[in-house]
Each structure stands twice: as C-alpha cells, then as structure tokens.
Amino acid sequence: VADIEGNTPLESALHAIMLGDFVSYYLAVLNRVDPTPVPAIIELKDRFNR
C-alpha cells in the first residue's frame, strides 16, 4: 500500500496518478512490452481525425 501525500485532495490525486503511471511504465519495461501504444487513445485520436 502506498502512502500518497499531498496538501490538498487534488494534489494527492495527482500524486497517485503519477505514481500509477510510473509503476505501469516500469512494469511494462520489465516485461519487455512497449508501453507507448494505448488502444483506447489510438481509437480516440482516430475519431477526432475524421
């Protein structure tokens, strides 16, 4: 369990998001998976470009 610090609820939420991003990135690297393609984001970009 991570102790998420922050002076405000928003700061705590942003710290938690950043921690989650770092953890998911390094887990992908450790498992030799390219962490950059995100299917949901790719689909969203495709919809905006139509």
pTM for this model (two decimals): 0.66
Q: Is the pLDDT of residue 1 over 80?
A: no
HSE-CB of 50 using CA atoms within 13 angstroms: 5
- What are the counts of helices (DSSP H) followed by strands (DSSP E) for the chain? 2, 0
Q: For residues 26 and 19, what is the distance between their CA atoms, to the nearest angstrom?
A: 11
- Residue 4 makes CB contacts below 8 A (sequence gap 6+) with 12, 15, 16, 19
What pLDDT, on a 0 to 100 scale, did the predictor assign at position 43? Answer: 94
- 3-class DSSP state for residue 48? helix
What pLDDT, on a 0 to 100 scale, did the predictor assign at position 33? Answer: 94
List pLDDT tens digits, range 2-50: 889 999 999 999 999 999 999 999 999 999 999 988 899 999 999 999 8
Q: What is the DSSP letter of 4?
A: -
